[in-house]
Amino acid sequence: MTAIKKKKAVKTDSFSLEIEAKSANESFARMAVAAFVARLDPTVSELADIKTALSEAVTNAIVHGYRNSRGVGRIRIKGAVYEGGKVVLEVKDKGCGMADVELCLRPLYTGAPEEERSGMGFTVMESFCDSLRVRSAPGKGTTVVLTKRLGGGAE
């Protein structure tokens, strides 16, 4: 009998990018991440999924995270790709954070109903990626980690 050992996936590439929290940078962030992921030869729909999920996380940092901040906040976007086609993206802000993450994750929940938000941002991230992790605390900022496996494969 041979034990099947799960090998840890090897990171093949990574980047770290800091952008100003301005809405004009939403498309810039999408383009940068799309260009990075393109080397894994994703399908059109995989690339669209990644761009859309990333856009949600970056937009949230801008419109919610830094809502009441003085000056322009900064958003750190990190990305890594692993052997086998796994993509991990991290979007981090140092804004107001969330008191109740579970509530915020609910479909249709928005903390800013007066601004024509749909409350579907986290739902989009969850549906378009394989996993979503959110770390946040009031006054401490927010980190969102998105993982997507390319090639249609579960592990």
Ligand X SMILES: Nc1ncnc2c1ncn2[C@@H]1O[C@H](COP(=O)(O)OP(=O)(O)O)[C@@H](O)[C@H]1O
Indicate which residues carry an active-site annotation: 56, 60, 117
Here the tokens at position 16 are 């770290």
Here the tokens at position 111 are 């903390």
Q: How far apart are CA 96 and CA 138, in angstroms?
A: 6
CB-wise, 60 or 143, nearer to Mg ion? 60
Binders of another protein among residues 20 to 39 (CB under 8 A) are: 23-24, 26-27, 30
Here the tokens at position 11 are 């990171």
Of 7-15, 22-30, 47-55, 92-100, which part binds ligand X (CB under 6 A)?
92-100
Q: Is 143 in the site for ligand X (CB under 6 A)?
A: no
User: Side by side, which strands form the sheet with 86-93?
Assistant: 11-20, 74-82, 86-93, 141-149, 131-137
With CB under 8 A as the contact rule, the residue among 65, 95, 97, 121 that binds another protein is 121
The widest CA-to-CA distance across the chain, in whole angstroms, is: 63
Residues near another protein (CB under 8 A) are 23-24, 26-27, 30, 48, 51-52, 55-56, 59, 62-63, 115-121, 123-124, 127
